[in-house]
Structure 1
Amino acid sequence: MQLVMIETNGNQNYIFSSPRLRENIGASAQLTWLEDWTQEVLDTTTIPAAVARAFPEGAPDLPWVSRSSGKVIFLADSVDSAREVIGRVTRIAHSRAPGIDVTGVYVEMDSVYVDDEDLRRVHMAANEHALDRPPAGARFSQMPFLVRAQDSSLPAAPPFDKKKVDDEATADLSMAYSLPSRVKRYHAAKARKDLVDRALADHGSLWKEHPYRDNTDQLGELLVRDLRNLEKLFDTDPEFGDDRLSKVAVVHIDGNGVGAIMSHLKEAKQKVPENVFSEATGVSQGDDDALRRFLLQINTRLAGAMETAFYSAWAQVSLWSAKDDELRGRHIKPHGFRAVPVVPVILGGDDATVITEGAYALPFTAAFLEAFERETAADSLLSALGNRDDHMTAGAGIAVVRHAFPFHIAYDLAETLIKKAKQVGKAADPDEYCSTLTFHALFDSTLLDDEALIDSYSSFTERPYRFVTKDYDAPGNMTWHEACRLTALFTGVGKVLPDKSTDPATWRIEYVSDPTQRVPFPKTRAARIRQYMSEAANAPEPAAQPAPEAPVNDDVEDRIATGAAPEKSPGERVNDEWAAILGSSDEDLVALAKALGSPDALFDLLELADLLPVSYLQDQLVSTAYTQEAGE
């Protein structure tokens, strides 16, 4: 019996090889077709029947071993059968998705039943094969007389033959696109329409609180079913003519510990209670076919949890956007509510990459992580593989950039950020894993070194933020809930109500619905403190932290107004600024400063204030025990 693995390679490079959103969407759709191509070939062979004869009658899902986004593993009855399927699938891939990199390998098994060693050997064979073969781009060699394609180093290809494809976009007919670009662009519109239609048909209940919940056509338009409208939204907002889409974000999310589970299936299997395992797979843990069935169940359930988390976060963002439009008075006919573009470019297994509007990227990611934890907790098999709270976790990195910034560079930054997030989320024992989120807002036009950029402020930031339950009492980075609470106070969306308690963390917070009544922290002073903190971080000696009730020197305000005295270190300037605030005659400002606790969070709060919309902060406030609505 042969164990065969076929997979796509260089997925991110394939998706982001063009700066055009249409091609990113088309490439993303193509990467999901590998399982269908393989099934199409298997259905025309005798492999399923031959493999089934080697198993007890009724064994399900044969000859499959694993089905996930961009990778399939299955059994074949002979070397010739394995080679035939690999050859036919790769030829289908090259003809239907030119430029995609698909490879296949196979190894001989000692038994008809798959074990950890078989999976390890087939992955090793794939790694060895990757070193011996030419790159996928070599299929498109250029010659001096060929025209180079637009936005690509590949040669240009003519439009499709109208006898075979009569609906190629008119605008594409006159452009010099490469063959991979033409195919990606052709499939993009249908892929976008199918995504939105699936959201409403299969996950319609998630939009039950949206104002357009009873009008599917209008809701579909709001979710930007039409690809041309989606492309326009990433340039300008044609309905309102404002600058709300000046920021774009690339969000990258990856599950914690999933790779370890897949690499050690035998050990992972032992974590699952016997009754849960047998109910999920149909066999006991000691059955010879248990590992194959276990792996297939993980694939299916994990993909379902990621997909539901995505649609749930999308629905939440749509609702928050509608609330913000109402707060701004933008729900004016005939325009209605504005759309928040959400574009999944990778969604499968334990991995997701999404392009969306910068103003809602952090709320989207937080909602995704919370939904992923909720979905895995509700699944008996996945919850057994999770942390001590019986759910799986994930790390997220968000790169917020200007709309004209190249997506592939933003993705690289998001990938670096997720590594930082996982260092915090996976710092402890697997039972203590937690979901984490970090971000970087990059508005400069240059980016030379992701690691150096993030490390430059690592000593005075609270990122990455943790998603933990209240019974986690171990010290660590700030929680996401606490970051949202402080942001609400910093922006004035929330107003602290001091009481007799000496612990400001227990003070009640009132949501301030009237923008004219909000008392935000002075941004100019916050920016000045952040500058001093940055200078202090690069100073030879670390700056001492100010005492919460530090006395105010008589000349502090005068020195701040005229510029700190030369002899003052950056750390001392931070102390002086904070002491001046605590000694202010403005009682609301003093209460706000005490609620913030210290100047430590100001570096992050200045950016969070621009990246968290009012509707989201309101939801975060009213969900806490120490919060009341205005007028309560």
Structure 2
Amino acid sequence: MSVYCATLLDVRGIQGYLFSSNYLKENVGASNNVHEAMDGYIRYAFRQMRYKTNIRVLEKPLEFDDSLRIEDGSIDAEVVYAGGGNALIVFKNSEAARSFTRTYTREMIKKVPGLNLLVCHEEFEFGNNLYRSLKELLRMSFYKKMNRRIDNDVLGLGVTAKCQSSGLPAEYIINLSRGESEKELKKLSDVAMKKYLSYKSGKQRLEKIIKRNGYDIPDNFDKIGRTKGENSYIGVIFIDGNSMSRRKEEIGKNAKNDREYIQRIRSFSESIEDASIDVMKSVIKELIGCIEKKDSEWHFKDMFSGCTFRLYEDEANNVLMPFIPIVYGGDDMTFVCDGRIAVSLCKEFLVKLSSEKLSDGYPFYACGGVAIVKAHYPFFMAHLIAEQLCENSKKFLEDEGLKDKMASAIDWQIIRGSRSKNIEDIREREYSIISGNKELIFRPFFVGNNKRAKEFENFVSMMNNFSEENGWPRSKVKGLRNMLRDGKDSTRTYLNNYGIKLPDSKNGVYRNYIEEGFYARKTPYFDAIELKDMYFSIGGDNDDSLRD
């Protein structure tokens, strides 16, 4: 029986590469570089080697011809899947695999410096061995990561300038200003410069998914979450699919042979990408449905309350969309948007993802974390906190008895000044109760239709009842916030003095909380008061602003 070679391409430290800069153009460019590492540079190496593969057209984005199979002897290499920072390729022999690797890594070093790549090879006999080989490749990759040599490079001398993005020695000076009268010079390292140069391709890739239709894509964090004289918060959203590793393992265990495994794992990977892109298009349609022109200015309108905020317009009076995807097309996604729509936007993604069925027949359940921060807050830290919040959501599902995480959940945090990297430290410091050991944090929440108090739609229904029409002017809400910090007794006294009860949701799931604010040592009202001014719901009429 013929011996083939399975090759795993694994990009390591993606988060550090993608989010280390506070310049949005570099973040978008870095994301495009990671995408190209698992697409364009693979195709480039195949073209250089003149290999016959299962890729339909090597000059175009990856698309596979399922009729071309490595075991038939008609091709030199078969890409099983590629995307999300890793790829699995089966070569006709180990020499073909190593020749490809030399060409591929040489191009990567030249075009994408700073992106760490691990390559592992494993020979196997085609039949029923590929899944076991992949497990061995993943083990080898992990071992290499843990035991890689740490290079102590000289990062600069007394006569060198420092890159303003990466801290590495600067090799370029570029002019960021559009006009000639004023020059905004920026020093960049080779790593940062390659990200910056990739921005244009990254933006074009976005525009293939999003029709601009009069709305431009922002290129600066300040232009996403800022209304003159009002708001300067952005939302960093991280969404991660639930139990994806387990679902991939089930595919491997249940496949009858290598060919069935290739077909099933490829279909699963493609179904994730299709669902992710389709949901992003759908959410952006809803987002655009909330944008309206009012008194010659463009506004975002909450379709529930009617409240609005003004959108950013550039020097050419182009209105900028208050949202930009950074990482998309896989089971983990990162978006940046205006802080006022961040929680609602994340919720919409989770709802729509859970309505999509993947190729294994189960819904695309996911969890989300939202960090709402000032526009100049370190982006890497904001994303790290969003990841921790997403992990909180997953732990919440486990604590609720959903070990397979076949549900969706959301957690968020508004950060007004803290620079801590640990969400638990932030919450322990800012959400402590003066008297008694009670919880001011009620979140995370389920995302889906049910009658539980820990369901997000019920929480929003209760939050919207904090209004003057219901006897809750802003001054009274502010006083309640202080009483909640004191605990149940102070809250009950405050309510009795005013002769009022706390708001409930439409279906009455908070009836146990309305008398004293707390039940089973927890309260949902502190979350509601904190989020209320930072929550604009998206929805409304869709338009045809996206490509089919």
TM-score between both structures, scaled by the size of structure 1 = 0.69
- Give 1:295's aligned residue: 265
Conservation of the 8 A alpha-carbon contact between 1:150 and 1:175: yes
State the partner residue of 2:352: 371
Call closer, same or farther: CA 1:94–1:591 in 2, change over 3 Å: closer
Q: Kindly indicate whether residue 434 of structure 2 is the aligned counterpart of residue 453 of structure 1.
A: no
1:286 aligns with 256
Residue number in structure 1 paired with 2:96: 81
Query: SS at the partner of 1:153?
Result: coil
Please list, as runs of the form range in 1=range in 2, the aligned pairs for 1:114-513 lying within 5 A after superposition.
114-134=129-149, 141-158=155-172, 174-200=185-211, 219-222=212-215, 224-225=216-217, 227=219, 230=220, 233-234=223-224, 236-237=226-227, 241-244=228-231, 246-267=232-253, 269=254, 286-322=256-292, 325=300, 327=306, 339-376=320-357, 379=358, 381-382=359-360, 384=361, 386=362, 391-427=363-399, 428-429=401-402, 433-447=406-420, 449-455=422-428, 457=431, 459-470=439-450, 478-491=454-467
Task: Answer yes or no: is the 8 Å Cα contact 1:317–1:363 preserved in 2.
Answer: no
Question: Aligned residue for 2:491?
Answer: 574
Pairs within 5 Å for 1:19-168: 19-34=22-37, 35-45=39-49, 48=52, 55-56=71-72, 63-111=78-126, 114-134=129-149, 141-158=155-172
Q: Distance in 1 between matches of 2:36 and 2:155?
A: 26
| Distance in 1 separating the partners of 2:41 and 2:34 | 11
Amino acid at match of 1:578: L
Amino acid at match of 2:71: F
Q: Secondary structure at the match of 1:611?
A: coil
Q: Quick one: which amino acid aligns to residue 157 of structure 1?
A: E
Deviation at 1:65, TM superposition (A): 2.0
Partner of 1:625: none
Most deviating of 416-425 and 518-527:
518-527
Indicate how the Cα distance of structure 1 residues 328 and 606 shifts in structure 2: closer, same or farther if over 3 A, else same.
Answer: closer
Cα distance change on mapping 1:159 and 1:138 into 2, 3 Å: farther
Corresponding position: 1:532 with 2:483: yes
CA distance in 1, matches of 2:318, 2:504: 34
Distance 1:308 1:443 in 2: 34
Aligned with 1:145: secondary structure? coil
Go from structure 1 to structure 2 and tell me whether the alpha carbon gap of 1:322 and 1:454 turns closer, same or farther (over 3 Å shift).
Answer: farther
Using the TM superposition, give the Cα deviation of residue 529 of structure 1 relative to its aligned residue in structure 2, in angstroms.
3.3
Alpha-carbon distance change, 372 to 593 in structure 1, aligned in 2, over 3 angstroms = closer
Match of 2:493, as an amino acid?
A: D
Amino acid at match of 1:528: G
Structure 1 contact 52–62 (Cα < 8 Å) conserved: no
Counterpart in the other structure of 1:605: 528
CA-CA distance at 1:112 after TM superposition: 5.4
Give the C-alpha shift of residue 591 in structure 1: 7.6
8 Å Cα contact 1:397/1:437 also seen in 2: yes
Q: Is contact 1:257–1:430 with CA below 8 Å preserved after alignment?
A: no
Point out which structure has higher relative CO (alpha carbons under 8 A, 6+ apart). 2
Deviates more, 1:174-183 or 1:520-529: 520-529
Q: Secondary structure at the match of 1:353?
A: strand
- Per-residue CA deviations over 1:179-223 (Å, capped at 9, x if unaligned) read 1111211221342243134212xxxxxxxxxxxxxxxxxx4442x
The separation in 2 between residues aligned to 1:129 and 1:199, in whole angstroms, is 39
Letter aligned with residue 462 of structure 1: F
Return 5+ residue gaps in structure 2 as ranges: 55-66, 294-298, 432-437, 518-522, 542-548
Distance 2:369 2:441 in 1: 15
Secondary structure at the aligned position of 1:124 is classed as helix
| Secondary structure of residue in 2 paired with 1:395 | strand
Mapped partners of 2:421, 2:73: distance in 1: 59
How many residues align structurally? 491
Helix, strand or coil for the counterpart of 1:444? Answer: coil
- Cα distance change on mapping 1:420 and 1:47 into 2, 3 Å: same
Instruction: Give the CA deviation at 1:405.
Output: 1.0
Secondary structure, counterpart of 2:187 in structure 1: coil
Q: Which amino acid aligns with 2:234?
A: V
Deviation at residue 479 of structure 1 after TM alignment: 0.6
Query: CA-to-partner distance for each residue in 1:122-165, whole Å, 9 max, x for gaps?
Result: 00111122233335x867743443322223320111359xxxxx
Bigger radius of gyration: 1
Q: What's the CA shift for 1:114?
A: 4.5
Shift of residue 113 of structure 1?
5.0
Contact 1:340 1:357 in 2 (8 A): no
* One-letter identity of the residue aligned with 2:472: F
Question: How far 1:286 moved relative to its partner?
Answer: 3.2
* 1:300-335 CA distance string (max 9 Å, x none): 110111122222222222222439646568899x99
Instruction: Give me the whole-angstrom Cα distance separating, in 2, the residues matched to 1:486 and 1:590.
Output: 9
Q: For residues 67 and 100 of structure 1, do their structure 2 counterparts lie closer, same or farther at Cα, with a shift above 3 Å needed? A: same
Q: 1:360 to 1:58 in 2, by over 3 A?
A: farther
- TM-superposed CA distance for 1:523, in Å, is 3.5
Aligned residue for 1:354, secondary structure, equals strand
Residues 319-357 of structure 1: per-residue CA shift (max 9 Å, x gap): 22439646568899x999954421222213210011111
CA distance in 1, matches of 2:132, 2:110: 34
What is the Cα deviation at residue 431 of structure 1?
6.2
Local SS of the residue matching 2:172: coil
Unmatched tracts of structure 1, length 5 or more: 161-167, 201-218, 270-284, 493-517, 537-570, 620-632
Q: Which residue of 1 aligns with 2:63?
A: none
In 1, the alpha carbon distance for the partners of 2:119 and 2:184 equals 35
1:521 paired with 2:472, answer yes
> Is 335-344 or 186-195 further displaced after alignment?
335-344
Q: Which has the higher helix share?
A: 1
Give the CA RMSD over aligned residues. 3.6
Q: 1:396-423: per-residue Cα shift (whole Å, max 9, x none)?
A: 0000011121111111111111111011
Higher strand share: 2
- Alignment CA distance shift 1:243-1:194 (3 Å): farther
TM-score if structure 2 supplies the norm length? 0.79
* Amino acid across the alignment from 2:120: V
CA distance in 2, matches of 1:415, 1:533: 28
Counterpart amino acid of 1:256?
N
Q: Distance in 1 between matches of 2:494 and 2:143?
A: 60
